[in-house]
Amino acid sequence: MQKGTELYRGKAKTVFTTDSEHLLILEFRNDTSAFDGEKIEQLDRKGEVNNKFNHFIMQKLEEAGVKTQVQELLSDTESLVKKLDMIPVECVVRNFAAGSLCRRLGVEEGLELKPPTFEFFLKNDALHDPMVNESHITGFKWATEQQIEKMKSLSHAVNGILSPLFATGGMLLVDFKLEFGVDENGDIILGDEFTPDGCRLWDSNTRKKLDKDRFRQGLGSVVESYIEVANRIGLEL
């Protein structure tokens, strides 16, 4: 697959065109950012770890019937992905209270949420990713009612697949965000990534944080913790 021109450069990933109009190359960089890009550092091996982690998770989801945009690993830091028309909202599922939920509602971190909560956020760093509802999404034509229901059902399906997977490694899947897009056939497909950058993972017994909160909160050993997570679920890095 021939790598083309840079199409988009995000905070931690770069997207390139290919010689196919339906395929792109997704490159994971070592850049690590928090607080809408206010805190940025380079962490050795992070791009490689997240690329391989994402491929592993997306394979698990595909095997369980969830369609994803990931096609194959191309290198340590690059994956071939299906081109999608991305929907500009993030779908967030929370199994335990943490992060912005605690700040917004004043609830204690670690409170188990039964059933899990579901939230939509507009993907917009300049506006600090504000929370939105279904009326906003349909009113501004970011997605249709049918697409909203599909994103919600797929998000809960992902939770049902991955929570047990992480549990086998002695971890709690605290929360996570997903992004979806529309393919050339009009189908809703899981896009972007699923890595410790976009979810919270705690040790089941100690509640030790093993995700990007280690970077946000200055706890150190960020990439080492990502590798520990991978090893616990059967991905040797």
pLDDT of amino acid 42: 95
pLDDT of amino acid 95: 98
The C-alpha torsion from 128 through 129 and 133 to 137, rounded to 10°, is 120
SS3 per residue for 160-172? HHHHHHHHHCCEE
Alpha-carbon span 139 to 117, nearest angstrom:
23
CA-based nearest residue to 205, from 230, 228, 172, 163: 172
**Position of tokens 């939105």?**
132
Among 47, 82, 117, where does a domain finish? 82
State which residues form the domain around 9.
Answer: 3-82
Distances, alpha carbon 209 to alpha carbons 109, 132, 139, 152, 226, in Å? 12, 28, 38, 26, 10
pLDDT of amino acid 35: 81
Among 82, 97, 127, where does a domain finish? 82
Residues 119/177, Cβ–Cβ less than 8 Å:
no
Taking phi over 0 as left and psi of -120 to 50 as alpha, with beta for the rest, 106 belongs to: left
Number of domains the chain contains: 2
Among 39, 61, 82, where does a domain finish? 82
Tens digit of pLDDT at every position of the chain (237 positions): 789 999 999 999 999 999 999 999 999 999 998 887 678 899 999 999 999 999 999 999 999 999 999 999 999 999 999 999 999 999 999 999 999 999 999 999 999 999 999 999 999 989 999 999 999 999 999 999 999 999 999 999 999 999 999 999 999 999 999 999 999 999 999 999 999 999 999 999 999 999 999 999 999 999 999 999 999 999 999
17 and 98 inside one domain: no
CATH number, domain containing residue 95: 3.30.470.20
Q: Which helix (H) or strand (E) holds 113?
A: strand 112-122
93 and 192 inside one domain: yes
Residue 184 burial (CB count, 10 A): 11
45 and 89 inside one domain: no
Q: Is 103 helix (H, G, I), strand (E, B) or coil?
A: helix
Q: What angle do CA 137, 138, 143 make, to 5 degrees?
A: 75
The verdict on residue 234 lying in a domain is no
35 and 90 inside one domain: no
103 and 193 inside one domain: yes
The verdict on residue 228 lying in a domain is no
Alpha-carbon span 232 to 175, nearest angstrom:
18
